[in-house]
Structure 1
Amino acid sequence: MRNFFIFIKCELGKTYEVASHLVDLVEETRQVHSVSGTYDLLAQFAVEKEADIGRFVTTKIQTIPGIKDTQTIICFNAFTSDKGLGEA
């Protein structure tokens, strides 16, 4: 699996709706956090190694109603015992 994070800026008043949509309807979602600063949410996703992350972001995330802007952060390595796979 390939892990990556997306900072998400929401339209005013839409942060909770966007977070719910990510958690309930996007199966690749691992975590969603509300954050302070330029963006409203930080979401973690995991896709198959062969997946096109750019296409995933533009078709499955940026099209969600209430999302105004995104910034994607690609992960290279996980320095945890589970290698970022969520296994203990």
Structure 2
Amino acid sequence: MVTAFVLIRAKGQRIGALGEAIAEIPQVAEVYSVTGPYDLIALLRLKDLEELDQVVTQGILALDGVERTETLLGFRAYPSRLLDQGFALGEG
């Protein structure tokens, strides 16, 4: 199993439409709009690197409005309780 984070820079007003289109790709687990030099981040779960190549080059990059992508591979996940705490900052 391969986990990848694809950072996506979008053209102008296409962010919302691209987020929706990327979320429809079966290997995409989640899509977030973000601040910073990129507009969207997609979390992908794939069977191998060949599938990653196909999803990024023939899927995401082929969508109208995508200017560029940068792909990061995840190699270790930490306990979900720690991730949950990070997203709950400022709550309760």
Larger radius of gyration: 2
User: How high is the sequence identity, in percent, across the aligned residues?
Assistant: 25
The correspondence of residues 67-78 of structure 1 with structure 2, limited to 5 A, is 67-78=66-77
The correspondence of residues 5-84 of structure 1 with structure 2, limited to 5 A, is 5-24=5-24, 26-49=25-48, 51-80=50-79
Cα root mean square deviation, aligned: 1.5
| Length, aligned pairs only | 80
Q: Secondary structure at the match of 2:13?
A: coil
Q: TM-score, normalised by structure 1?
A: 0.81
List, as ranges, runs of 4+ consecutive aligned residues in structure 1 with deviation greater than 2 Å: 49-56
- Structure 1: distance between partners of 2:47 and 2:53: 13
Q: TM-score, normalised by structure 2?
A: 0.78
Change (3 A) 1:6 1:17: same
- Structure 1: distance between partners of 2:77 and 2:48: 15
Q: Which runs of 5+ in 2 are unaligned?
A: 81-92
